[in-house]
Structure 1
Amino acid sequence: MEYANHLNEYAPAQSEAQVAEEVARMKEAARSNENAEVYKFCYSAIDLTTLSCTDSVASVTEFARKAAEFNERFPHIPNVASICIYPSFVETVGLAVDGTPMRITSVAGGFPASQTFLEVKALEVAMAIENGADEVDIVLNVGRMLTGEYDEAANEVEVIRAETDPEVVLKVIIESGALKTPELIRKASLLSMFAGADFVKTSTGKIDVAATPEAAVVMCHAIRDYYEKTGRKVGFKAAGGVRTPQDAVLYYTIVREILGEEWCTTDLFRIGASSAANNLLSAIEGHEVKYF
């Protein structure tokens, strides 16, 4: 399908200076959100992530077990939204969290570079879902975005979307740190939504520049503009470098200020994180917590 022409229906991105001014306002507004209730919500929005070359069945099983048993130790804190792992560990996590409401997220589709055959990407996504993934995070083809092959980049997402059941949540990572400019970040976000993304996500966490508040501002404006034209709500996920409670609250504030209170649910806001989980728990409990 031709998607690039639809970009002309949307206003251009803000300038870098305008984005910087908005980020400064968001940082100021975030101070009033640094409290236990917001910390709890941010914790509940985490896709608890382990994406390491050292992951094993044993380590992932223990990781998932701790998440599954979280409410036994912390019954007053809502649990994380999901566990995020490589496709080969989807079944492992499924066994560890069986009988709980824990959702399973898998990166797939040639993560993190998206540099393989489209058939391989689609097959990997299908296999992750067959093994039990409720949600799948794929990477938009950044190389195609950088060379202006917008239809080709979006069509890859469309093909993968067609391989997933409608109830499977598809998150598309635009790798904003590689796109760099507000205009490319906006285009990548819109193209992902045109092609069927349920979420747009900042980063893989595997390159030098991961999530930034600047990218989040641009992406959330694209989500808002898309919603105003189509009536379809698309979620936002910040991932890569989100470590402190203050980081999490800043992204929460950006979402709330630009998209509104109705986006402040785990159906429409996620944080991809590992160390942020313990840091948010420490902020909630008022002392250092090393649960994970």
Structure 2
Amino acid sequence: MNSHSLRETAAVALSLLDLTNLKDDCTPAQISALCARAQTPFGNSAAICIWPRFVAQARGILGADHPVKIATVVNFPSGEMEIADVAAETREAIADGADEIDLVIPYRALMSGNERAVTVMVTAVRAECMAPVILKVIIETGELKDVALIGRASELAIEAGADFIKTSTGKVAVNATLEAADIMLRSIRQSGGKVGFKAAGGIGSVADASLYLRLAETIMAPDWAMPSTFRFGASGLLDDILVVLSGGQSSGAASGY
């Protein structure tokens, strides 16, 4: 990839980035810094993705109707909370100012053959996410592993009303992979619905990002990827984006979430 197209990819990736801090020891000071980092000299990231306890703080910093959206996580990262608790967590996050909810499905239940657990969970949280709130459903592909299971989890999430399907929490050994992305994007195409895709965890460079964008273009359509249909969930990717947009060289190395 030449430097011109790499820079174009970096600009696109910035517009699709959910700049993330889901570290267990995240502090209010780090959230303030994240809100500032999301607004770069080259444009804004699509969103920040943070723990529910920080949503009200971030909304206070960004104000109403800010172009940088606030995403938060529920049933995270285990996927094993009670439905009523997840619904309450979702309601509270939206009341605090969340624009987007990233929900972990009960993936272990699915692995044991319980498809209904996924449908019931996604349906319940979907009911809390009134427009314009966006629901992204995390299927934890690195734990599901099996091609058929990843495909089925994608189908169940889409059928239950997901606006996006997302690869990973970033909290397990294997996070986003191109193989999982391929299965999920094909599930979206097959559904015929207006559903987006989010690759999360392990995407640390513009070179990495370009592979996912190229895959989306191949399976869906050229120019399909935009903030309403495609996101990257990452903490380290912004650093590489800014290097490339400033005229430097992409690190080309993957990193953690």
* Structure 2 length-normalised TM: 0.92
2:68 maps to what in 1? 102
Task: Output the CA distance in 2 between the equivalents of 1:217 and 1:34.
Answer: 23
Displacement of 1:288 after TM fit?
A: 7.3
Of the three residues 13, 37, 42, the one matched with 1:42 is 13
Task: Output the CA distance in 1 between the equivalents of 2:78 and 2:209.
Answer: 25
The answer to whether the Cα contact below 8 Å between 1:185 and 1:218 also exists between their aligned partners in 2 is yes
The answer to whether the Cα contact below 8 Å between 2:19 and 2:234 also exists between their aligned partners in 1 is yes
2:211 maps to what in 1? 250
What's the secondary structure of 1:35's corresponding residue?
helix
Is the aligned partner of 1:64 residue 2:35?
yes
Deviations 1:249-292 (A, max 9, x none): 11111111101135221100000011111111112212379xxx
Deviations 1:197-253 (A, max 9, x none): 0000000000000000000000000000001xxxx2100000010101111111111
What's the secondary structure of 2:43's corresponding residue?
coil
Unaligned runs of 5+ in 2: 251-257
Bigger helix fraction: 1
Task: Output the CA distance in 2 between the equivalents of 1:241 and 1:58.
Answer: 24
The answer to whether the Cα contact below 8 Å between 1:223 and 1:234 also exists between their aligned partners in 2 is yes
Is the aligned partner of 1:138 residue 2:103?
yes
* RMSD of aligned alpha carbons: 1.6
Is the aligned partner of 1:88 residue 2:53?
yes
Paired amino acid for 1:44: S
Q: How does 1:205-224 map to 2 (within 5 A)?
A: 205-224=170-189
Q: How does 1:156-235 map to 2 (within 5 A)?
A: 156-227=121-192, 232-235=193-196
Is the aligned partner of 1:282 residue 2:243?
yes
Task: Output the CA distance in 2 between the equivalents of 1:280 and 1:58.
Answer: 23
Task: Output the CA distance in 2 between the equivalents of 1:245 and 1:206.
Answer: 22
| 1:65–1:193 CA distance, 2 compared to 1 (3 A) | same
The answer to which of 54-63 and 241-250 deviates more is 54-63
Displacement of 1:35 after TM fit?
A: 2.0
Paired amino acid for 1:126: R
Of the three residues 190, 203, 227, the one matched with 1:266 is 227
2:202 maps to what in 1? 241
Deviations 1:116-160 (A, max 9, x none): 111111100111001000000010111111011112211110011
Task: Output the CA distance in 2 between the equivalents of 1:246 and 1:162.
Answer: 38
Task: Output the CA distance in 2 between the equivalents of 1:288 and 1:34.
Answer: 12
Bigger strand fraction: 2
Task: Output the CA distance in 2 between the equivalents of 1:222 and 1:260.
Answer: 14
Paired amino acid for 1:170: L
Deviations 1:98-126 (A, max 9, x none): 26422110111x20111111111110011
The sequence identity of aligned pairs, in percent, is 38
Paired amino acid for 1:85: I
Task: Output the CA distance in 2 between the equivalents of 1:225 and 1:238.
Answer: 19
- Runs of 4+ more than 4 Å apart: 31-34
What's the secondary structure of 1:263's corresponding residue?
coil
The answer to whether the Cα contact below 8 Å between 1:65 and 1:96 also exists between their aligned partners in 2 is no
The answer to whether the Cα contact below 8 Å between 2:126 and 2:162 also exists between their aligned partners in 1 is yes
